[in-house]
Amino acid sequence: MQKDLHELIAKTISKMPKRSKAEPKAKLSYTNGHFAYAFTGAVLTDGFGVIRDIELFEGQKDSTTLKPHNE
């Protein structure tokens, strides 16, 4: 069952465009059972789960080289 699901997800992703036509920096991702075109980012919270900061990053493949997107 799990292998079939993994194959289905992989095949679906391979057929979809990797970037959004409306916003080329938004990349295709599969999170929590949903496909989405989204920006790579980080949400910083405190110990109670209160959001303290939100950072959106430039679209790069290597997550170790992500740089904050300055506007």
- Tell me the pLDDT of the chain (71 aa) as tens digits: 677 888 888 888 888 888 878 877 777 887 777 888 877 778 889 999 899 988 877 655 544 444 555 55
Closest CA to 36 of 55, 16, 6: 16
The first and second tokens of residue 11, run together, are 């095949």
In this structure, what are the phi and psi dihedrals at residue 8, rounded to the nearest 5 degrees? -65, -45
- Break the chain into its structural domains and give their ranges: 2-65
In this structure, what are the phi and psi dihedrals at residue 57, rounded to the nearest 5 degrees? -110, 160
Q: What is the pTM of this model?
A: 0.45
